[in-house]
Structure 1
Amino acid sequence: MSTPQERKETVTLTPSEAVTSSELLSVVASRELASRRTVFAGIGLPTLATELARLTVAPQIEVVYESGVCGAHPSHLPETIADAVLISGAEAVLSMPALFGYVLQGGHIDVGFLGAAQIDRWGNLNTSVIGDWERPDVRLPGSGGAIEVMANSREVFVVMRRHTPRSFTAALDFCTTPGPDRALAEGIRPLGVGVTRVITELGILAREGIGEELRLVAVHPGVTVDQVREATGWELEVADSVATVEPPTAAELRLLRKDVDPGRVYLR
């Protein structure tokens, strides 16, 4: 892979190189990792974001995967969390009890990267069912290790491809992964503050800590605040000053396409 300095190259895009949703979300998410060191990442967009961050804003980043791999430095993108490429060059491979007991519950993760089918204003997540539990419209994969990641990471980033009232909802169809606010209400004390960033196709939502709702802090070029409000299933709080996200640069796209995912495993 390339070195971090290559981000400074000037690259010209042609009209045929339109930015895809996956590229946009990966680039924006990677920038949010600038001051972070340890990241618990899943496969897909989180992998793209962490690998791009390593080449740009966060060369110090150490990536941990649910399969027990710590300090992963893969030569190419893994296709699953059990892909052998994650082991080559890794700093350690731990058992599941060691990973969750010592690394996660030990408070060593700066950022946990999660996805979701639904999210509410407090950052609670649904990855179980859409619709009624007994007769769902869609049955989803479930939690995996997301509950542990939410409870024990210092903060959590969520990347969601779709921003609609169905996915950003006032009431989850099912709460798979409760955030700290809900956990505290049930007498459980989490280590972290829960979701602090949500990166979507429309912009960025953020919250600083426990007791705060997600609010709109930035929109992508061409997107209005009213559009985001209409696409959100609750009365969305809006920052006093809403920023406009800088579009992906030619250099970022070049690294993403040529170095991070040349085989377009996850870029689509």
Structure 2
Amino acid sequence: MMTVAASRALANDTACFVGIGLPSKASNLARRTHAPGLVLIYESGTIGAKPATLPLSIGDGILAETADSVVSVPEIFNYWLQPGRIDIGFLGAAQLDRFGNINTTVIGDYDDPKVRLPGAGGAPEIAASCGEVIVVVRQTARSFVPELDFVTSLGYGRGAGDRERLGVRGRGPTMVITDHGVLEPDPGTRELTLTRVHPGVTAEEARAATGWELAVADDLDTSPEPTATELEVLRALEAATAEAVESTPSAPGVRT
């Protein structure tokens, strides 16, 4: 449901900054179904990649082999991302607060953390400069917290007007897709609000998986079930990827 919901959020003829994992799967599903003109941009510098299977990393050769163009990483960030030339960016999160701010740096005190996380990477620039951001994260009270231990990537700061005050280019997180449903920022306060639940999930379950008092839309909707075509394409994509990995005469998880 998370993959399909993320795929449906991508419009045709737009440019999407793609990460490995679920965002890559969703983007490639969208390109094979309703958005054939979707331009996939990976952090490694590939523009317009059209992989036949899911890439194992941003450095997977299949991205460069199928791309319209390959540029340097500094060019991706300095020329394409930061000037606002990329429409949509995907981000994950270890922690997320009610205003869509993201922590991927540390859990606990910065100088003496309980857990040291992978860090920022390109996420702060994606959060600041993409036309809009879609956050994909599993929803638990440990990840949806009242206050972040560290702000890695800006959402809406402390609420409405903070992005504008700070002068960041993009609109910010327009959608948070979880295993419970979809959250969207309130037009006035910018606080994340549950607007849609996935089939079989209740608003009470989503609230229980949130570390703050989650706002729920009055007209709460239910996500449509995946279509037969979406499931067929997604399963074929995953099967082709598994076959490609198994047939590669190299170390496990490495494709030459």
TM-score normalised according to structure 1 size: 0.84
Give yes or no for the alignment of 1:181 onto 2:189. no
Deviation at 1:206, TM superposition (A): 0.8
- Structure 1 stretches of 4+ with a deviation exceeding 4 A read 208-211
Cα distance in 2, alignment partners of residues 250 and 233 from structure 1: 35
Aligned residues: 242
Cα distance in 1, alignment partners of residues 184 and 238 from structure 2: 27
Residue type matched to 2:147 in 1? A
Residue type matched to 2:144 in 1? F
Question: Are the structure 2 counterparts of residues 80 and 87 from structure 1 closer, same or farther at C-alpha, using a change threshold of 3 Å?
Answer: same
Deviation at 1:181, TM superposition (A): 3.4
State the Cα deviation string for residues 205-251 of structure 1 (Å, max 9, x = none): 01266851110000011111111112111121211201111122232
State the Cα deviation string for residues 89-131 of structure 1 (Å, max 9, x = none): 2111111221111101121111100111111111100111122
Deviation at 1:191, TM superposition (A): 0.7
Q: Which residue of 2 aligns with 1:200?
A: 178
Q: Which residue of 1 aligns with 2:84?
A: 107
Residue type matched to 1:117 in 2? A
Question: 1:157-168 residue pairs with structure 2 within 5 A?
Answer: 157-160=134-137, 162-168=138-144
Question: 1:55-94 residue pairs with structure 2 within 5 A?
Answer: 55-94=32-71
- Of 93, 97, 102, 1:125 maps to 102
Cα distance in 2, alignment partners of residues 202 and 93 from structure 1: 37
For residue 99 of structure 1, give the secondary structure of its aligned residue in structure 2: helix
Point out which structure has higher relative CO (alpha carbons under 8 A, 6+ apart).
1
State the Cα deviation string for residues 243-264 of structure 1 (Å, max 9, x = none): 1111222321111111355335
Between the two proteins, what is the percent identity of the paired residues?
Answer: 50
Give yes or no for the alignment of 1:143 onto 2:120. yes
TM-score normalised according to structure 2 size: 0.88
8 Å contact from structure 1 (residues 180, 190) kept in 2: no
Where does structure 2 lack aligned partners over 5 or more consecutive residues? 246-252
Give yes or no for the alignment of 1:226 onto 2:195. no
Question: Are the structure 2 counterparts of residues 30 and 38 from structure 1 closer, same or farther at C-alpha, using a change threshold of 3 Å?
Answer: same
Q: Which residue of 2 aligns with 1:190?
A: 168
Question: Are the structure 2 counterparts of residues 111 and 164 from structure 1 closer, same or farther at C-alpha, using a change threshold of 3 Å?
Answer: same
For residue 54 of structure 1, give the secondary structure of its aligned residue in structure 2: helix
